[in-house]
Structure 1
Amino acid sequence: MTTTPEQPVAGGVSPRRRYFEPKRRSKLRRWITGTSQKTGRSVGRLLFDTEGRPRPWLRTLLFDAYQRPRPGLEGVVFKEPGRPRRPFADWLSHADDTLAPLVAHLPFPSPDEGGRRAVLVVVAGDAAPVEGLVRTLEPEHSVILLRLDGRTESVAGAVLVSIDVAASRAPRPVLLDALARRAAACRPLFAVTVGLDVADAADLLEQRNVPVVTLAGSPESYAGRHEALERVLDRAGAVAFPSEVARSAALALLPRFAGRRRLVVASAPEEVAAIGREIGAELDNELALVLATGPERLEMLAIVREDDPPGEIDIPARLATLIANWRRKALLRRHPNRPPLRRPFSGFHPLIYAEHHPVACFDGRRYPLSHWIERGRPEGPWTMPVIGPPAAPVASGLRTALHGHFFYTDLLPELLQRLSANASRPDLFLTTDTAAKVEELRAMTADYPARVRIDIVPNIGRDVGPFLTALRDALTGGGYDVFLHVHGKKTKGRRRAIGDPWRNFLWENLIGGEHAMLDAVLAHMAAHPGVGLVFPEDTHLLDWARNARVAEELRRDMGLTEPMGTYVDFPVGNMFAVRPAALAPVLALGLDWQDYPAEPIPDDGTVMHGLERLLPMVVRKAGLGVAAVRVPGTDWD
């Protein structure tokens, strides 16, 4: 049955503003922005060639022969340490290619030569102090003795690799980084660096994810080596002191490291080898732990991305890279979500977990997913249950309605087609902005086998106003157990290319197509009365962006006390299934049309964007939980 459409609200939008609205750019500002962008593109063609490489004169001006910024010019090249500005990003991603020729002639052994994991021992000077360590390691490991002084005297049981770093024409940091890169290719279990003279080598090995035990030497060697001592205490996986006196002397000079782990007293070779094996096994253990736990929930790692190399994706290799990259970011204290991370494991948010476990995940460089699994997968805001495809369509006994806001009416047939994959037939509450569109929607739903209500609403509040304001009577009337909320999403402007993929992803997961996902969602909510909200699980890991101010205002008015944190898991795209009771805090706001900003609205920072991110918190405020729904292999960007 199709009802008569309601009339639009008269009077337009009043000047009343309850919530923050981002300032709109003036025509002058838009003109300035457009002009500067055009100018920037023109200048860019002068500075960079068609393959995105800086032109020769610009490379000579900004970089040395090894694609490293010249001293004092880092700020031109990098937005922050280790994060190149966009024009340089792709070109600098190949900077390692300049390192290989520097050390190509050195006789490093092949990985796992002889079936044994390698151990790297780095010295600059007399190698006699490591003879006992090599004898201890040699029965179980292939030992590589890397001499940085150019001497050719080896140690029995070790493969000698010698280079005179001081005599090289390449700058010491460049050459040591080349050595660290080449050494890492041998997949050593760990490395031992001897003395503070090679503190910089220890640092660069750790940056290449080679765990390092530094033998710190006697307290007398610390004099005048404050910077080197600080570097190993900060970066090395473990620091071994010959005595408690030496350990105390180091911490007296640098007391801020007193709480860090693995500052050990280990003078015997057996003790050094044991601590090396312990730190060396960490990455392998983390990888094995994750691969052994719910491997089917790693399916999102197999999704092909635009910059992936050709060929089949190796999930263990990709996961190992994620773990290694996390450890490197934590070591260098870089922003954990730059460049942006993806969710690695369905039902788990690594950044929220890391924020709640900073000592382990940032100070200890533990990968959040493996640490969570190791601790028994504790519940918290970092995890939620995930609903997968059902075995077959099964109609739900829940009283269900589906709200769809269609500014673009041509998308309704797609939604109806997706609904047909399910056995459930929810009542439809459709909203649009003109009488002509109402007639189009009425014609499309003439044969729909359940109730249909079509309302005219102002073109304001995007999809949020039509749901929370126009349908407040239906949401509060007690006639439905579950309401689904979707909209005919098309993205315009500079991001128009993501509109269709984003909508397809959301509808495929929440409504269905290949699978009866609406039936699956309703079955889960029927079996779990404590679940108040279900939404598609997005692989993107997001923060509050420009919504912090409006979110704080909304939190105040809804009485939300749950901490916001830096990151938030929410229905990205604002499509979900919800129990009306779970919306009690937001419905109590009594949002009216005057509370939504007029079109055109900013990309972020409005009351609609704030409510989208706050929705899981609202549901928890109402005493209910959240769950995710996911069709394996789906994504949108």
Structure 2
Amino acid sequence: MTRPESSLPEQASPATECPATEHPATNGPGKRARYYLPRQRSRLRRWITAQSQKTGRRLGRLLFDSEGRPRVFLRSLLFDAYQRPRPGLEGVIFKEPGRPRRPFANWLTGSDATLPPLVADLPFPSPSAGRRSVFVVIENSAAPAAPLLRLLARDHAVVVLVLDGERGDDAALVADGVAVVPVEVARARAPRAVLLDALAFRAHADRPLFAVTVGLATIDAADALEQRNIPVVAVIGEGDADPARRETLGPALELALERASALVFPTPAAREAALAANPRFAARRRLVAVEAPLAAGAAGVRAIGREIGEELDGELALVLATEPERLEILDIPRENDPPGDFTVAQKLERLIADWRRKALLKRHPNRPPLRRPYSGFHPLIYAEHHPVACFDQRRYPLSHWIERGRPPGPWAMPVFGPLPGPRASRLTSALHGHFFYPDLLPELLDRLMVNASRPDLFLTTDTPAKADELRAVTAGYASAVQIDVVPNLGRDIGPFLTGLHEALTGGRYEVFFHVHGKKTKGRRRAIGDPWRQFLWENLIGGAHPMLDTVLARLEASPEVGLIHPEDSHLVNWARNVRIVQELREDLKLTEPLGGYVDFPVGNMFAIRPAAMRSYLALGLAWEDYPAEPIPDDGTLMHGLERLLPMAVRQAGFSTVAVRVPGTDWD
């Protein structure tokens, strides 16, 4: 069934004033008596979890060696000689198609190494210089497809894989420049599925423009080729369309409709019969009827093959040609990058191939988690709004968006970079920093000194002793400093919304920056420090005067209400659905929710107080925040963090991101 495309309504004109808090009985926002708080795990549950993890580690050492490979007895139990799961055990090894469970993931990345020896003795021709190859798969003999093969050979290096064919039948085709590769499937030592995967793996090395499979008997080969990102035209034979054989050929036809990039039927009646038997594919593109597709209609098969092949190439070329500087985010080395040096173009090609394979296998698009490939664009939000193109037709969201003229929507956000040098702003500004760890304040002040602007400082912490440390560090600061001791409630959000409520609503400041001394201890320290440094580098400064940059944008663009660093991580609502529902009601937010959300990840930003009027109108008090320790997710603070851009848009302002090229965190 076709899924509708959708878009969001236009934004209202920006508001200019921040009204006073409204009572819940009026039309304005009003908080509820108590907000949802996820239940903390009991001490007993934490003990049980710890014991089960210890047991799991011990069991892991018995089942896997030091390099993470299953030991011999486990391999023989679960896998065949080609690292494929034994029949019926796929669910033990894979979470979903193509996605191994964690214990097997690293080992299975090497499973392709078992494939080349299976086809090493086959007479594959050397790649042709200047001519893209086309692979054709047919059973028994290539002779029935001779007119199509000769037509393709005019412009392409044609390689025909003849499955279980008779030797010597295709000499005339070889004389016409067609490479014929006989493949003895029935007598091969490997199972048919493994051998076809080996052929597809070998074919992919030639980077063919497209492939053609002839007859439903070869549709498993089409599946293997498509999984290697080779687009396939599956030609349905006249015998395949016989209604009397529908029961035996039905599964193969369904697989063809599911996996092949294009299907060619011998008659319109055959196409209609196939769709009548499989109505869920009624909206599919490229289901065409061509009379005598292997002979008189061969030109039609060639045309559709070129179309699907060039579409794949075109996706890559289109993105590379459109503001390529936005792709610099792909040029940043990642901890989990595959070995070797890859250009931006190669990384992008891998992303496109991976998206197409996930869509082909109906896998979750964000497992494993994706990164933003192009500054200012969120591929998963775009895909949610364009499911037919991005999921059914397997189009890469970024290239489809560019192809359609980069339409505005929740998937796109303006992004700007640093000023060439410091520039003092005429806007009155303040910076709130909450420092549970006061030893981080000197780093923030060093970053502030890179800028010409000197915002007033509102610093909060949870003890008088820490407040004294903050006073000592800020003794020489050039603008006003206010330091307050606040309850250890609400993490950094409570001190901002509740502790600074009067300053935020007083009208003295046109812009507030909000930051906090983010730090994590123990084994998670590797997350907290790089995350904080990334956020401060982009919002406050370091190599560039970013606080001046942000103020300059707000000064030039009165419609912008919120600016935050652009994070490359693509985040959903996680365990915050319940608290988000409560807050949406209280804040009277009407913008529809999707599965993913673009927001200030890490909760550091610059904002006009007028743009957060609904948050301020809630009048949150200290007793509204949960007591420490709090769960890792799903609390009032996590909901407020995610909904802030939506509240800003509801107030009539827009959201913009800022990005220092070359920066990111893992």
Give the TM-score category using the shorter length: over 0.9
Report the AA paired with residue 255 of structure 1: P
The number of residues matched between the two structures is: 621
Question: CA offsets per residue over residues 496-538 of structure 1, 9 Å max, x none?
Answer: 2211000000000000100001111110111110110000101
**Helix, strand or coil: the match of 1:485?**
strand
Q: Which residue of 2 aligns with 1:201?
A: 221
CA distance in 2, matches of 1:494, 1:355: 35
- 1:261-272 aligned within 5 A: 261-266=285-290, 267=293, 268-272=297-301
- 1:180-259 equivalence runs, <5 A: 180-218=200-238, 219-220=241-242, 222-223=245-246, 224-259=248-283
Q: Is the 8 Å Cα contact of residues 108 and 183 (structure 1) preserved in structure 2?
A: no
Which moves more between the two structures, 301-310 or 401-410? 301-310
- Give the partner amino acid of 2:464: A
The alpha-carbon deviation at position 592 of structure 1 amounts to 1.0
Counterparts of 1:248 and 1:69, CA distance in 2? 37
The reply on whether 1:123 has 2:107 as its aligned counterpart is no
Partner in structure 2 of residue 6 of structure 1? none
Alignment partner, residue 633 of structure 1:
662
Give the alignment's TM-score, normalised by structure 1.
0.96
Alpha-carbon shift at residue 309 of structure 1 (Å): 4.4
How far apart, CA to CA, are the structure 2 residues paired with 1:563 and 1:496? Answer: 36
Post-superposition Cα deviations, 1:422-459, rounded to whole Å, max 9, x if no partner, equal 11110000000111111111111111000100000011
C-alpha distance in structure 2 between counterparts of 1:298 and 1:508, whole Å: 20
Secondary structure of the 1:173 match is: helix
Matched residue type, 2:265: F
8 Å CA contact 1:283, 1:324 repeated in 2:
no
In the alignment, is the contact (CA less than 8 A) between 1:150 and 1:165 conserved in 2?
A: no
Q: Contact conserved, 2:140 with 2:165, CA < 8 A, in 1?
A: no
Q: Give, in whole Å, the separation in 2 of the partners of 1:231 and 1:309.
A: 32
Counterpart check, 1:547 vs 2:562? no
Is contact 1:341–1:541 with CA below 8 Å preserved after alignment? yes
Deviation of 1:464 after TM superposition, in Å, equals: 0.4
Distance in 2 separating the partners of 1:363 and 1:251: 16
Of the three residues 460, 464, 489, the one matched with 1:431 is: 460
1:396-435 to structure 2, matched below 5 A, reads 396-435=425-464
Give the aligned partner of residue 596 of structure 2.
567
- In structure 1, what is the Cα distance between the partners aligned to 2:149 and 2:572? 49
Q: Equivalents in 1 of 2:83, 2:550: separation in Å?
A: 52
- Is the partner of 1:329 in helix, strand or coil? helix
Between the aligned partners of 1:118 and 1:501, the Cα distance in structure 2 is 46
Compute the displacement of 1:66 (Å): 1.0
Partner of 1:605: 634
Q: Does 1:68 align with 2:84?
A: yes
The yes-or-no answer on 1:147 pairing with 2:162 is yes
Distance of 1:367 and 1:231 partners within structure 2 = 22
The CA distance in 1 between the partners of 2:266 and 2:91, in whole Å, is 41
Cα distance, 1:311 vs. partner?
Answer: 5.0
Out of 74, 77, 81, the residue aligned to residue 58 of structure 1 is: 74
- 114, 126, 129: which one pairs with 1:98? 114
Bigger mean CA offset, 372-381 vs 28-37: 28-37
**Following TM superposition, by how much is the alpha carbon of 1:85 offset from its aligned partner in structure 2, in angstroms?**
1.2
State how far apart, in whole Å, the 2-side matches of 1:36 and 1:255 are: 47
1:18 aligned to which of 34, 38, 48: 34
The offset of 1:62, in angstroms, is 1.1
Secondary structure (helix, strand or coil) at the match of 1:134 reads helix
Q: Do residues 459 (structure 1) and 483 (structure 2) align?
A: no
C-alpha spacing 1:326/1:309, structure 2 compared with 1 (3 Å): closer
Give the 3-state SS of the residue equivalent to 1:230 in structure 2. helix
Structure 1's unaligned 5+ residue stretches are 1-15
Distance 1:610 1:565 in 2: 15
Counterpart of 1:427, as a letter, is: D
Q: What are the within-5 Å matches in structure 2 for residues 363-382 of structure 1?
A: 363-382=392-411
Equivalence for 1:175: 195
Separation of aligned partners in 1, 2:284 and 2:419: 49
Aligned to 2:10: none
Segments of structure 2 that go 5 or more residues without pairing to the other structure are 1-31
Conserved in 1, the CA contact under 8 Å of 2:141 and 2:166?
A: no
User: What one-letter code is carried by the residue in structure 1 that aligns with 2:34?
Assistant: R
Distance between the aligned counterparts of 2:204 and 2:378, measured in 1? 30
SS in 2 for 1:115: coil
CA offset digits 1:33-62 (Å, max 9, x no partner): 111111111111111111011111111111
1:634 partner letter: T
Partner of 1:164: 184
Residue in 2 that maps onto 1:335: 364
Q: Who is 2:149 aligned against?
A: 134
What CA distance in whole angstroms lies between the structure 2 residues aligned with 1:456 and 1:342?
A: 39
Mapped partners of 1:402, 1:44: distance in 2:
50
**In 1, Cα distance between equivalents of 2:521 and 2:330:** 29
Q: C-alpha separation between the residues in 2 aligned to 1:461 and 1:114? A: 65
- Shift of residue 463, structure 1, vs aligned partner: 0.2
1:275 has 2:290 as partner: no
Deviations 1:606-627 (A, max 9, x none): 0001111111001011110000
Counterpart mapping for 1:355-366 below 5 A: 355-366=384-395
Residue type at the aligned position of 1:233? L
Percent identity among equivalent residues? 70
Cα RMSD (Å) of the superposition?
Answer: 1.3
Q: Kindly provide the CA deviation profile for residues 136-165 of structure 1, in whole angstroms up to 9, marking residues without a partner as x.
A: 111110000111114323223211111111
Q: Which amino acid aligns with 1:76?
A: V
- Return the letter of the residue paired with 1:177: D
Using the TM superposition, give the Cα deviation of residue 17 of structure 1 relative to its aligned residue in structure 2, in angstroms. Answer: 6.0
Deviation string for 1:333-355 (max 9, x for gaps)? 11000111000000000000010
Match of 2:24 in 1: none
Q: Deviations over 1:197-249 (max 9, x none)?
A: 10111111111111111110112285421111111111111111122122222
The CA deviation at 1:494 is 4.3
2:124 corresponds to which residue? 108
In structure 2, distance between residues paired with 1:97 and 1:334 = 24
**Counterpart of 1:23 in 2: which secondary structure?**
coil
Higher RCO structure, 1 or 2 (CA under 8 Å, sep 6+): 2
- For the residue of structure 2 that corresponds to 1:160, the secondary structure is strand
User: After the TM superposition, which parts of structure 1 deviate over 3 Å for at least 4 consecutive aligned residues?
Assistant: 309-313
1:352 is matched with which residue? 381
Q: How does 1:510-521 map to 2 (within 5 A)?
A: 510-521=539-550
